[in-house]
């Protein structure tokens, strides 16, 4: 399974790096391949808090696409809010060809802008629950919401829980627990499943 994490200027660093840490451990197994990707090719990214990093590839045709947030609730000049007009259509274009699409924090609002959450259980940062509801989502207040091919997580650190949940779902609980132990992370198993 190739997981691509879509990154962009103004992205929240923890939204990216938490799941990246989990899936980088998982990618040592043959079941997982992981890539940070820019929207239109390789990209140099400056995160919400100033961390600079590179996405060595562009968005392709992944088995799974993961969308972080950042800069949505404060309508920042950089981030998901500022780039929604270009991000959402590409997400909508890629989504039908994936096994699953996921998000953390306000990345789920980008999924909503792409038309992927209407009538479906989903979650986001608690500060954006109401906004997600306006897109017709059945908002759940769990850290992770698994609706099969749509998997969303609450605010920021909940992305780690989503990533571990995906490892457990796709491989095994033992592998996910082993990764959590390696990271010295206490799993939060607050998962709503459809």
User: Which sequence positions are flagged as catalytic?
Assistant: 105
CB 2 within 8 A of CB 64: yes
- Cβ atoms 5, 95 nearer than 8 A: no
Cα–Cα dist 171/70, whole Å: 29
DSSP category for residue 35 = E
User: Does residue 33 contact residue 44 with C-beta atoms inside 8 Å?
Assistant: no
The tokens for 101 are: 């699409």
Separation between Cα atoms, residue 190 and residue 161, nearest integer Å: 8
Contact in structure between 19 and 5 (CB atoms under 8 Å) = yes
Nearest residue to 123 (alpha-carbon basis) of 113, 138, 136 = 138
What Å distances lie between residue 53 and 16, 49, 69, CA to CA? 11, 12, 16
CA nearest to 193, candidates 155, 157, 140? 140
């Amino acid at each position: 399974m190739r997981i691509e994490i879509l990154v962009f200027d103004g992205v929240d660093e923890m939204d990216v790096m938490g799941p990246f840490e989990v899936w980088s451990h998982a990618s040592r197994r043959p079941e997982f391949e992981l890539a940070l990707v820019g929207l239109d090719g390789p990209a140099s990214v400056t995160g919400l808090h100033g961390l600079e990093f590179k996405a060595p590839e562009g968005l392709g045709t992944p088995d799974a696409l993961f969308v972080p947030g950042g800069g949505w609730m404060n309508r920042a000049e950089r981030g998901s809010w500022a780039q929604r007009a270009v991000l959402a259509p590409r997400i909508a274009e890629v989504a039908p060809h994936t096994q699953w699409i996921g998000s953390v924090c306000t990345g789920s609002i980008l999924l909503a802008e792409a038309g992927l959450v209407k009538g479906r259980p989903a979650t986001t940062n608690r500060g954006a629950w109401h906004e997600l509801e306006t897109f017709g989502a059945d908002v759940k207040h769990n850290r992770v919401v698994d609706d099969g091919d749509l998997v969303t997580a609450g605010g920021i650190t909940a992305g780690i829980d989503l990533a571990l949940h995906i490892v457990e779902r796709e491989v095994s609980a033992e592998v996910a627990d082993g990764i959590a132990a390696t990271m010295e992370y206490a799993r939060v198993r607050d998962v709503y499943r459809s």
